[in-house]
Chain A
């Protein structure tokens, strides 16, 4: 579809459980993140914004990174894109893309990689579009900065990209303020896709948009991804958005990846209590669903001194003493999903309990 093949291998990945190890990416993996850790400097001490996160992206996959404010998902993707503020510091880990570690690339190589191999759709299009240049020109600039492209080639490509994201090609000569919010977001998506990068990171791509426009854009993203070999990470606090278009979901809490797996599995057969709680906190449009919304009491932990053992323990209704003493092990399941919980094997039973509000009101050890 309009020459969107990504630069990576086009072999479909086998669904096997790969433990997160260091080193080069295995064939079939576009991006491998191992043990990524990021600290923020603060007056009270280092804030452990991201701790030991590992995951892999496969070609053509849409991966949803879900979590609430403060869980570290934005810090994580900013680390991958090397867009962290000065007060933040990558304290460990690797992110291997095309055999190179994104986290330790020198500035020049980084500039070559950006837009061409990894790009960003920011949360607010206003952060990406320069108000004094025409939209088409801004897209052209991205194309020409990364390779020799003639004017004619660039114009054709811009027209193709506009069509891809559902924008009228004649509007390429407009300025950003002449676009509506939804159109601006589409333009920014076009920019991110311009060079067919291996990985596109979408940071809350539809948060400020109306419901119908949001649905359109998400639908487009899904179509685009279906035709593409590159991977996409969608970061969102809204599980329902993620549920709509992602193949796999990673759930983050307090800086850690607590559970990961196929969308259907995560939403309907969660194994981590936080995922269970989060799932039940979203209202369903189904008329037969009469149950009350679930609230998870308490607040996320202070990341300057996170709780010992499992970070979710203070809010977890199923916490045992071992949860305070030892960090939960990362378990890999046969269906390639992963979960970090001491009681993951009891998930079926716990899920039933988690669906009831009373369970959550009585916290603590059994």
Chain B
């Protein structure tokens, strides 16, 4: 499973047309269809040293996409490539080798660490499962270094503790140490600070940013908070109901959003520098997606009849900035509400 010709241009991680369908037994509540298309054709590339932000609300499929890319789930269709090599259907030893390269930090600091394992065992687990550092003493030394590098010093104090003896911020740092200990080339961060107190977040995020830079990692940052995405990511992809509706350099997406959904997200995002400016968006009628055309059409203020029949294709509206929207295609910039 070697990389097929690695060059500086070869992205560390590439997703091609990823699709994931979940069969649900007897839909509950809203949906009438029997299977759920959580991810409906997602593609992107992440190069070395670059962080891509995957932004969207719940149900957008961003977490599912991340799990597909990490092979925690198997895609229904599409491919995942690592340094040019196809890792989509790997199993067993080759999958384990891929796992050495691709790691993740989780959203919930209270649930992502094994409650009955000590910190030292949690962080050395990747070393053990990958059979690096066979001696216990060497593993402990590596763990100690890792803990110090994520700001948990003196390491000796933290090594023997259990997760419930640590604060939320400390737990996330342990999670980060665990993810980085075997030196991966790709790191996924799934809303790593959304469950932490605000004054603690910056510490964890700044640490994350620094380590990504120091280790030259490719990063995938998932969040519903656009302000954080702006802070952490070079490029951003906006997801809506399983599709990437807009993607491009973060500054472009935030400064010049083209897709109506992106505009709605930005208008709705609360931010400290917007005092008293929260306007109540027009109430939406809850109409379900008809099954054809653009998924956002039922909610879109500028939807036309074309939007309900034909799925929009990707359109480049700026350097590296792509949108899937008929209105954008019509040449006129969709206006916000």
Residues of A within 8 A of B231 (CB): 283, 293
Asked whether, in the complex, the Cβ of A243 is within 8 Å of the Cβ of B275, the reply is yes
Residues of B within 8 A of A240 (CB): 227, 270-272, 274
Residues of B within 8 A of A218 (CB): 270, 278, 280
Asked whether, in the complex, the Cβ of B57 is within 8 Å of the Cβ of A212, the reply is yes
Interface flag for B200 (CB, 8 Å): yes
When each residue 16-44 of chain B gets 1 if its CB lies under 8 Å from chain A and 0 otherwise, what string results? 00000000000001100000000000000
When each residue 210-235 of chain A gets 1 if its CB lies under 8 Å from chain B and 0 otherwise, what string results? 11101110111011000000000000
CA distance A244 to B270 in the complex (A): 7
A244 interface neighbour in B202, B206, B274, B283, Cβ under 8 Å: B274
Asked whether, in the complex, the Cβ of A68 is within 8 Å of the Cβ of B280, the reply is no
Asked whether, in the complex, the Cβ of A287 is within 8 Å of the Cβ of B29, the reply is no
Residues of A within 8 A of B29 (CB): 177-178
Which residues 160-194 of A have a CB within 8 angstroms of B? Answer: 166, 177-178, 180
Which residues 241-299 of B have a CB within 8 angstroms of A? Answer: 251, 254-255, 264-281, 283, 286
Residues of B within 8 A of A166 (CB): 283
Residues of B within 8 A of A210 (CB): 57-58, 224
Asked whether, in the complex, the Cβ of A267 is within 8 Å of the Cβ of B275, the reply is yes
Asked whether, in the complex, the Cβ of B202 is within 8 Å of the Cβ of A293, the reply is yes
A215 interface neighbour in B30, B254, B255, B280, Cβ under 8 Å: B280
- Contacts A68-B198, A212-B265, A239-B198 hold; do A284 and B276 have CB atoms under 8 A apart? no
Which residues 194-239 of B have a CB within 8 angstroms of A? Answer: 197-203, 205-206, 224-228, 230-231
Interface flag for A257 (CB, 8 Å): no
Asked whether, in the complex, the Cβ of B272 is within 8 Å of the Cβ of A279, the reply is yes
When each residue 135-162 of chain A gets 1 if its CB lies under 8 Å from chain B and 0 otherwise, what string results? 0000000000000000000000000000
A-B contact pairs, 6 of them (CB 8 A): A180-B286, A219-B279, A240-B272, A243-B276, A267-B272, A287-B255
Binding site for A on B (CB under 8 A): 29-30, 57-58, 167, 169, 197-203, 205-206, 224-228, 230-231, 251, 254-255, 264-281, 283, 286
New A-B pairs, 11, CB < 8 Å, besides A285-B271, A293-B205:
A211-B265, A212-B264, A243-B271, A243-B275, A281-B202, A282-B227, A282-B271, A283-B227, A283-B230, A285-B226, A287-B255
